[in-house]
């Protein structure tokens, strides 16, 4: 409050200075006439009382202008925000603690406005993501009830129902994971395991997928013992490696590395389709799917979950990508 206090003290000084000039003028005029000293003293006493009153009035006005008026404006704005209206900013051209408070208030309103938009978009995306498989389930269930459905058609419809059910299951699971990460202040970090062995298990788990596409899998993993949350980090490597396989064309190449240096560095580089430049800023957004033709079963939550997990461990995730030339994701983790 130093700046605000300085303003008030400066205002008080100006008021006292101006009033003291009037007092001095009064004394000079009246003390030069010594015919009635008693009356001069009486006038001086009254004058002092008037001066004190004027000081209080002017200081109150200064306080009203410098502090109270602006606080009232913030109070009214806070009530408006409490009612859910985030479409305004408070103008304050001063340079003190109250102007800083006003600026922070405007930033808060802007953040609330952004969150409101994201919340609406989130709800719309969820509605859309659930609506599509539910519509399919309903449609194919009705087809199964029709007379004259052949065994081949029945099997085809049943397979589609299973696929859409699995899609709903995956979407629900990912939403629960994302919600848990969003609100979990404390994450378990006491699992002791080998990062390189964990990544090898995932590569073997997905061997069928990358062998079917004849992908050249190049793996270079330093042996690293780590203490953290084994389940969550497993999910990170699984999301990144599975994405690399999905977006890499047949006869492509994927390079996976894990190095032990100042930080633990994991990278997965593919020779896939890459990400369009105008879409790269949205990669970690919820429900974002870059190439929907190559990834129709994706919920668009995998990378959002991955980023949340890395942030929980105070790590960093980044990527470089060129359309048609592939993508490389890099994860940096602090060493134990």
- Percentage with pLDDT > 70 across the chain: 60
In this predicted structure, the answer to whether residue 267 has a pLDDT above a threshold of 70 is: yes
pLDDT recorded at residue 39: 46
DSSP symbol at 182: H
pLDDT recorded at residue 237: 92
Across 318-323, average pLDDT: 90
Q: Determine which of 37-46, 162-171, 183-192, 271-280 has the lowest per-residue pLDDT on average.
A: 37-46
pLDDT confidence of 121, banded at 50, 70, 90? Answer: low
pLDDT recorded at residue 125: 55
Give the model confidence (pLDDT) of 279-293 as tens digits. 888 888 766 666 554
Domains, the chain, ordered by start: 2-85 (no CATH), 122-183 (1.10.287.130), 191-333 (3.30.565.10)
Across 69-80, average pLDDT: 76
pLDDT recorded at residue 38: 47
CA atoms within 13 A on the CB side of 190: 2
**Is-contact 283 275, C-beta < 8 A?**
yes
Across 295-318, average pLDDT: 78
Strand, coil or helix: what is 228? strand
Nearest to 304 by CA among 183, 121, 174, 172: 174
**Is-contact 331 266, C-beta < 8 A?**
yes
Q: Determine which of 159-163, 178-182, 249-253 has the lowest per-residue pLDDT on average.
A: 178-182
Q: Locate tokens 């497993």: which residue?
A: 234
| R_g over Cα of the chain | 35
pLDDT recorded at residue 328: 93
Nearest to 221 by CA among 206, 235, 239, 241: 241
Q: Ranked by mean pLDDT, which of 65-79, 121-135, 238-252 comes out on top?
A: 238-252
pLDDT recorded at residue 278: 82
Residue 317 CB burial class (10 angstroms; 0-12, 13-18, ≥19): buried
Sheet (strand 316-322) strand order: 216-221, 253-260, 264-270, 326-333, 316-322
Tell me which of 336 and 272 has the higher pLDDT.
Answer: 272
Across 72-88, average pLDDT: 73
Global confidence as pTM: 0.55
d(CA 136, CA 48): 89
In this predicted structure, the answer to whether residue 199 has a pLDDT above a threshold of 70 is: yes
Exposure string of 8-36, with b = 16+ CB inside 10 Å and e = fewer, is beebeeebeeebeeebeebeeebeeeeee
């Amino acid at each position: 409050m130093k700046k605000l206090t300085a303003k008030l003290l400066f205002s008080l000084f100006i008021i006292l200075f101006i009033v003291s000039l009037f007092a001095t003028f009064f004394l000079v005029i009246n003390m030069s006439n010594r015919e009635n000293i008693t009356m001069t003293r009486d006038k001086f006493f009254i004058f002092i009382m008037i001066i004190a009153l004027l000081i209080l009035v002017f200081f109150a006005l200064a306080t009203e202008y410098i502090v109270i008026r602006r606080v009232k404006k913030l109070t009214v704005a806070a009530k408006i925000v409490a009612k859910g209206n985030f479409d305004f900013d408070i103008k304050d051209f001063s340079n003190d603690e109250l102007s800083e408070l006003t600026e922070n208030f405007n930033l808060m309103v802007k953040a609330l406005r952004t969150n409101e938009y994201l919340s609406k978009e989130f709800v719309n995306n969820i509605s859309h993501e659930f609506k599509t498989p539910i519509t399919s389930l309903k449609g194919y269930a009705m087809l199964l009830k029709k007379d004259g459905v052949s065994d081949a058609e029945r099997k085809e419809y049943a397979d589609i129902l299973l696929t859409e059910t699995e899609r709903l299951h995956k979407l629900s699971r990912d939403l629960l994971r994302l919600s848990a990460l969003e609100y979990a202040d404390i994450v378990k970090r006491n699992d002791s395991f080998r990062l390189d062995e964990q990544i090898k298990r995932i590569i073997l788990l997905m061997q069928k997928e990358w062998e079917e596409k004849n992908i050249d899998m190049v793996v270079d993993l330093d042996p690293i013992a780590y203490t953290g949350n084994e389940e969550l980090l497993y999910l990170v490597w699984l999301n990144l490696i599975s994405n690399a396989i999905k977006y890499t064309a047949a006869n492509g190449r994927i390079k996976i590395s894990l190095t032990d240096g100042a930080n633990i560095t994991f990278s997965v580089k593919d020779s896939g389709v890459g990400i369009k430049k105008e879409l790269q800023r949205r990669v970690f957004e919820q429900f974002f799917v870059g190439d929907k033709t190559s990834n129709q079963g994706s919920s668009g939550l995998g990378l959002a979950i991955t980023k949340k997990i890395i942030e929980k461990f105070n790590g960093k995730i980044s990527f470089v990508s060129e359309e048609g030339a592939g993508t490389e994701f890099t994860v940096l983790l602090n060493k134990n």
